[in-house]
Amino acid sequence: MKAAAELAPIEDLDRNIVTLCSHINAATYELLVLIREFDERAGWLKWGLKNCAEWLAWRCDFSMTTALEKVRVAHALKILPGISGAFASGELSYSKVRALTRVASRRNEDELLVFALRATAAQFAERCRELRCGREDSIDSAARAYANRSLRVRRDRLRNMMTITVELPLESGELVEKALDKARDDEVLAMPDLADTSWSRCTLTSPRSPAAKGVLHCPSKR
């Protein structure tokens, strides 16, 4: 380890971290622009896949939920020049942009952008949730998603497999996916011999919609 006298001043670390985050923001914007073009040109067809999110999950090692969000945000930014500019310059983080694209339009973009630039990510996410819940279409959409939630389990004894189909509001579905990922990782750590058997063959798919409908395919326990 470096001696205390050789360590960089904390102010330098602060500045370097903030600068790097700004560069990451700008690079993420460039990534989304490329994703949008790739999707518009249906580049994923070359590999025989169904959509751009599926290609991202395969080629870039994203979870399906993350891939779907990348594609959604990429397309949403196309009609939001102010937000795109702030994102490209590194002023806005992906967290804020993701929240912005759920509520922003040409009509309210400027006002939301001003608030986003001076608020924390948590404060802004809460404001966006308020806006979404305050709109009639958001309330109707949330009510439909809640009413349509479901869970179905099918066991295939011959193949020793289990299929779990769950339909939930998107945010709840994302929590379920994270819980499944953690459970899989914990299981593999606890029992290394399962690393290339049961959990490694589990897959979770979810389509691009207000309600997350995921299908989990796993081998059944004997």
Instruction: Give one word for 42, left, alpha or beta, with left for phi > 0 and alpha for psi -120 to 50.
Output: left
Distance, in Å, from the CA atom of 112 to the CA atom of 184, rounded to the nearest integer, reads 39
Residue 88 in tokens: 């490209």
Q: Give the tens place of pLDDT for each residue, 170-191.
A: 666 767 777 777 776 666 556 5
Q: Give the tens place of pLDDT for each residue, 66-105.
A: 999 999 999 999 999 999 999 999 999 999 999 999 999 9
**36 in Cβ contact with 76 (< 8 Å):** no
Residue 163 burial (10 A CB sphere; 0-12, 13-18, 19+)? middle
Distance, in Å, from the CA atom of 105 to the CA atom of 1, rounded to the nearest integer, reads 51
Nearest to 51 by CA among 209, 178, 162: 209
**pTM value surpassing 0.75:** no
